[in-house]
Each structure stands twice: as structure tokens, then as C-alpha cells.
């Protein structure tokens, strides 16, 4: 269901865009590469009544998806922001429609919609959680663990996160770093909730190898094949006991409905950035719930802005598996919000303040900013 009560329209006066470079506490390695710095775009919506914040979760290179920072920056400043500023007054629920002529670029769209929604809800004094229909005040926190030097180093890293209290472990895999890595973690920690993420690194020809993962009692395998391999995912799912979960393939509510109809996924990872915003994410939640498909909230190494919004989303009733909503300290020594998310008994609190419920630390924001541009009406 769309939010019971829509947000009030805002009178936009402009947006400002920043590219941030935020150092990671340790390098993060996936099947598509290693990062030691998070490059991210932060959006501020300016309105006649106040401001709102959003995050564009692109990375510097188009390796996870076709979107990347410079492409998003260009489409935001040249196309999307001018289209939004054309309307004298705009509700967050209308942002996706205004931006719909522009094909793709969902992460860019999500950042704008989130900023407008934050601005509107701050004026109303309503939280993201209330707006979206959250039913929990805290959410279980899972952690995504990158590929390490060797399986022993992976076991060490996982042990550290378990000591911190994380409720679920996800390890990244790729060809050559799959069965042995998973076996090492499962042997060291027999009872933990464990899942793997391949980030599209395999093909259907690897089905037999991937079936070897069946012996590890995994919660799921995430995105083994390419983004547009829905039919192959369905074939693979038929050959595995481990549930197949889709991440990259789920770019919209339509893609989610198609994946479910094809039996390409029995679990779905919802990332608001990847699908164009929290309203599309809500639509996916609702259709999965109706189809009895469990969902969980994915992450894109969000700053305190996106992390707050993700916690609110993950508090919806259909989110029955722990999300990649770790404490800010999992990735960052210093965040851009004054009260970064912390781990409490394996959970992260859902913010209760108006809008996203977090305040920006202007000094930190400034320190990480490497590019700035205002687009005004």
C-alpha cells in the first residue's frame, strides 16, 4: 500500500549536490573489485520551508550497476533537477512521475526523491518510519563481509563481527573463493545465520559448483548470475536447495513481479537506491508480502543519511530477514551525521525524529566534500 497519508507538497527553490570521498575503515572486496574509499553524492533539497537530504548510492565506476558517480552527477544537474524545479510546488509522491521520462538512472532519482520527502516530512514533524508504515522500533543488524586474503583471515573477520553482536553474516564470494571460504566460516561458526553474495560472478554453467553450497545451511545465495539473467536464475533455483535471492536484477517493482512469476527468486533484497527510491521500495515490499516472498534491506555502504532511511524501511512488516544495516562504524570512522547508527544487542534503532531523523554534521560534510554545485530555480 502507498503511505496512508501522503506528504505535503513543498515549494522547491533549488538543490545542491556534493561528491564526498569517505575513507573506509578497511578495504571492501567483492567479486567486482576492491574499494578503500566510498565515493557518494549527497543531495540537499532547498524549499521555502526548510531543507531535506538524500543520498545517491552510485560508486565511482559502473561495476555493480550501470550507474556511476559522474553519470549520476551529469543527469542530475542537466536533466532531473531542472525538471523538478519546473513545478511551482511538488509532493514527494510526484517526483518519480516527473522524472519518469528519463530512462534508468534510478540511483539518481532515489537521491532526489529522498531529499524532497525528507524536506516535506521535517516540516510536518513526521518520521520516515511513520510515513512508510514501520511496525518495529529497531531492526536486526546483519553485516556484509568482503573477500579477505584467505579463508583463515575471513574466519577472523567474521569472528570479530560476531563478537560485536551482529545478528547475521553475509560473505562475498567469487569463482575460486566460494566453497572453501564458505566451508571455513561454517566450520568455525556452526550455528550462525549465514548467507553468501556473488554479485553476478557466475553463469549457469557453474550450477554444479554452486550446488556444493547446499551443504552449508545458508539462508540464501544472493545474485549468482547477471542482472538480466532472470530465466537462468529460475533454472539455477531449480537445481539448488539454497534459496536464490536477487539483488542487482530487482531494478523496479515490475522486475520483482517478473522474477517472482518466473520463480527466479524466492527471496528479494530491496535497495531503495537501486529501484529509484523508498516509494518504489515500499511497492516491492507490498507485492512481495502479498506473494509470501520474504524480503530484506540491502545496503550500499550508506552514509548516516541513507542508513537512517534504510532502518526505517527495514522496520516494515515484510522485512523478515536481517538486512545489511550495520553500525556506521562497520564502514566509517567518521560519518556525516551527528549521531551515527550504533549496534545495540545486534540491532540498529529506527530513528524517531522528523524526516530521516538525523542531523547533518556540517564540518564532517565539508571535510569529505570534493565537488559542489548548486542548481537553483
Nearer to ligand OSB, 51 or 247 (CB): 247
Distance between CA atoms of residues 25 and 317, nearest Å: 32
Please report how close the Cβ of residue 120 comes to ligand OSB at its closest, in angstroms. Answer: 26
Q: CA angle, 78 as apex, 73 and 82 as ends, to 5°? A: 115
Counts for the chain of helices (H) and strands (E), in that order: 14, 13
Q: Is 140 in the site for ligand OSB (CB under 6 A)?
A: no
Q: Write the DSSP string, 83-98.
A: HHHTSSSB-HHHHHHH
Convert 59-70 into a string of H (helix), E (strand) and C (coil): CCCCCCCCCCHH
Catalytic residues: 172, 271
Q: Is 127 in the site for ligand OSB (CB under 6 A)?
A: no
Kindly identify the residues of this chain, within the stretch 22-81, that bind ligand OSB according to CB under 6 A: 64
Cβ atoms of 34 and 24 closer than 8 Å: no
Q: Is 196 in the site for ligand OSB (CB under 6 A)?
A: no
Q: Is 281 in the site for ligand OSB (CB under 6 A)?
A: no
List the one residue from 58, 114, 141, 144 that touches ligand OSB (CB under 6 A). 144
Least Cα distance to 110 among 50, 49, 57, 47 occurs for 57
List the one residue from 227, 232, 247, 335 that touches ligand OSB (CB under 6 A). 247
Q: Is 247 in the site for Mg ion (CB under 5 A)?
A: yes
Distance between CA atoms of residues 10 and 347, nearest Å: 34
Instruction: Quote the strand ranges of 85-160, DSSP E.
Output: 138-140, 142-145
51 binds, among ligand OSB, Mg ion, none (CB under 5 to 8 A by kind): none
Nearer to ligand OSB, 301 or 360 (CB): 301
Q: Which region, judged by CB under 6 A, interacts with ligand OSB, from 84-92, 104-112, 226-234, 292-300?
A: 292-300
Kindly identify the residues of this chain, within the stretch 185-244, that bind Mg ion according to CB under 5 A: 197, 222
Least Cα distance to 178 among 30, 28, 27 occurs for 30
Q: Is 326 in the site for ligand OSB (CB under 6 A)?
A: yes
Comparing every residue's Cβ against ligand OSB, the nearest one is 299
Site size for ligand OSB, by CB under 6 A?
Answer: 11
299 binds, among ligand OSB, Mg ion, none (CB under 5 to 8 A by kind): ligand OSB
Distance between CA atoms of residues 16 and 37, nearest Å: 22
Please report how close the Cβ of residue 165 comes to ligand OSB at its closest, in angstroms. Answer: 16
Nearer to Mg ion, 247 or 302 (CB): 247
Work out the burial of residue 17: count CB atoms within 10 Å of its CB; fewer than 13 is exposed, 13-18 middle, 19 or more buried. Answer: buried
Question: How many other CB atoms sit within 10 Å of the CB of residue 23?
Answer: 12
Q: Which region, judged by CB under 6 A, interacts with ligand OSB, from 204-212, 279-287, 296-304, 354-362?
A: 296-304
Q: Is 199 in the site for ligand OSB (CB under 6 A)?
A: yes
Do β-strands 138-140 and 142-145 pair in parallel, antiparallel, or remain unpaired?
A: unpaired
Please report how close the Cβ of residue 92 comes to ligand OSB at its closest, in angstroms. Answer: 24
Distance separating the N- and C-terminal Cα atoms of the chain = 33
Distance between CA atoms of residues 123 and 9, nearest Å: 10
Q: Which region, judged by CB under 6 A, interacts with ligand OSB, from 9-17, 70-78, 188-196, 294-302?
A: 294-302
Where on the chain is the footprint of Mg ion (CB under 5 A)?
197, 222, 247
Where on the chain is the footprint of ligand OSB (CB under 6 A)?
64, 144, 197, 199, 247, 298-301, 324, 326
Amino acid at each position: 500500500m502507498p503511505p496512508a497519508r501522503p506528504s505535503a507538497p513543498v515549494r522547491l527553490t533549488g538543490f545542491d549536490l556534493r561528491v564526498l570521498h569517505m575513507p573506509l575503515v578497511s578495504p571492501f572486496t567483492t567479486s567486482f573489485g576492491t574499494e578503500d574509499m566510498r565515493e557518494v553524492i549527497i543531495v540537499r533539497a532547498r524549499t521555502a520551508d526548510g531543507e531535506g537530504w538524500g543520498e545517491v548510492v552510485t560508486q565511482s565506476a559502473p561495476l555493480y550497476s550501470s550507474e556511476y558517480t559522474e553519470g549520476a552527477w551529469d543527469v542530475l544537474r542537466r536533466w532531473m533537477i531542472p525538471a523538478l524545479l519546473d513545478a511551482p510546488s511538488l509532493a514527494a509522491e510526484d517526483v518519480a512521475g516527473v522524472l519518469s521520462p528519463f530512462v534508468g538512472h534510478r540511483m539518481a532519482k532515489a537521491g532526489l526523491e529522498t531529499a524532497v520527502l525528507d524536506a516535506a516530512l521535517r516540516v510536518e514533524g513526521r518520521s520516515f518510519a511513520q510515513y512508510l508504515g514501520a511496525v518495529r522500533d529497531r531492526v536486526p543488524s546483519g553485516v556484509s563481509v568482503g573477500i579477505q586474503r584467505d579463508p583463515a583471515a575471513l574466519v577472523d573477520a567474521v569472528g570479530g563481527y560476531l563478537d560485536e553482536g551482529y545478528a547475521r553474516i553475509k560473505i562475498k564470494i567469487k569463482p575460486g573463493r566460494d566453497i572453501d571460504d564458505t566451508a571455513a566460516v561454517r566450520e568455525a561458526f556452526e550455528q550462525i545465520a549465514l548467507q553468501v553474495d556473488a554479485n553476478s560472478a557466475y553463469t549457469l554453467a557453474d550450477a554444479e559448483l554452486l550446488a556444493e553450497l547446499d551443504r552449508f545451511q545458508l539462508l540464501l545465495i544472493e545474485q549468482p548470475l547477471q542482472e538480466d539473467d532472470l530465466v537462468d536464475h529460475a533454472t539455477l533455483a531449480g537445481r539448488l536447495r539454497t534459496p536464490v535471492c536477487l539483488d542487482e536484477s530487482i531494478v523496479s517493482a515490475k522486475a520483482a513481479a517478473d522474477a517472482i512469476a518466473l520463480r527466479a527468486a524466492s527471496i528479494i533484497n530491496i535497495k531503495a537506491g537501486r529501484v529509484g527510491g523508498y516509494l518504489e521500495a515500499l511497492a516491492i515490499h507490498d507485492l512481495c508480502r502479498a506473494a509470501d516472498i520474504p524480503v530484506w534491506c540491502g545496503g550500499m555502504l550508506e552514509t548516516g543519511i541513507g542508513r537512517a532511511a534504510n532502518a526505517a524501511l527495514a522496520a516494515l512488516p515484510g522485512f523478515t530477514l536481517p538486512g545489511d544495516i550495520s553500525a556506521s562504524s562497520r564502514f566509517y570512522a567518521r560519518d556525516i551525521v551527528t549521531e551515527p547508527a550504533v549496534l545495540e544487542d545486534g540491532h540498529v534503532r529506527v530513528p524517531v525524529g522528523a524526516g530521516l531523523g538525523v542531523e547533518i554534521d556540517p564540518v564532517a560534510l565539508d571535510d569529505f566534500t570534493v565537488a559542489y554545485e548548486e542548481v537553483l530555480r
